[in-house]
Amino acid sequence: MKNKFKIKEIEVLTEEEEEKVIEVAYAKYSNGKRIYTNGAAIPIMLDTGVRMGEMIALEWDRVDFNNKKIIISKNAVLARNRKNNGDITEGQSLIIQNSTKTKNGIREWPYPERSESFNKKSGSGFWLKRKIIFSIQTYGRFD
């Protein structure tokens, strides 16, 4: 019996490639301002394997600074806007779900030491006043 599923080989970044990606994620303009405001999400995603939707839904109350871990328990999805009758309208809405994509998705990870998000912002009152850690303007982009 033939296997009806295609087996896809998973491509993994080399350490060199990973470091280049992180270097770009933390790139700055000549005035010192970050080019990618949410570049700190990249090492977290690389080190933990969290999905983009889980990263977008990550909130400060899910970061345990004492034990240096993050708790993944929510997911963000993009849904088409609809009228009351179910017809699709223009635009999309970002919805934060109180669950992850799979039932085993709720998990804890040690947060990466190389993530500036937790090393530098953790003491900043401004960042802690925000509920979410990584803001987005359009789903799928972290800038």
Q: Tens of pLDDT along 18-63? A: 999 999 988 999 998 888 878 878 888 888 888 888 888 888 888 8
Task: Tell me the CA distances in angstroms from 119 to 27, 44, 52, 73, 80, one per residue in order.
Answer: 17, 12, 21, 22, 36
Contact by Cβ (8 Å): 143, 26: no
Contact by Cβ (8 Å): 52, 41: no
Q: Tokens for 10?
A: 């998973």
Residue scoring higher pLDDT (115 or 51): 51
d(CA 134, CA 94): 14
> What is the model's pTM?
0.69
Task: Tell me the CA distances in angstroms from 89 to 59, 79, 82, 83, one per residue in order.
Answer: 30, 11, 5, 7
Residue 137: band (very low, low, confident or very high) from pLDDT cuts 50, 70, 90: low
Look up residue 28 and give its amino acid: K
pLDDT confidence of residue 77 = 84
The predicted-structure confidence for 56-90, as pLDDT tens digits, reads as follows: 888 888 888 788 888 899 888 888 887 777 777 77
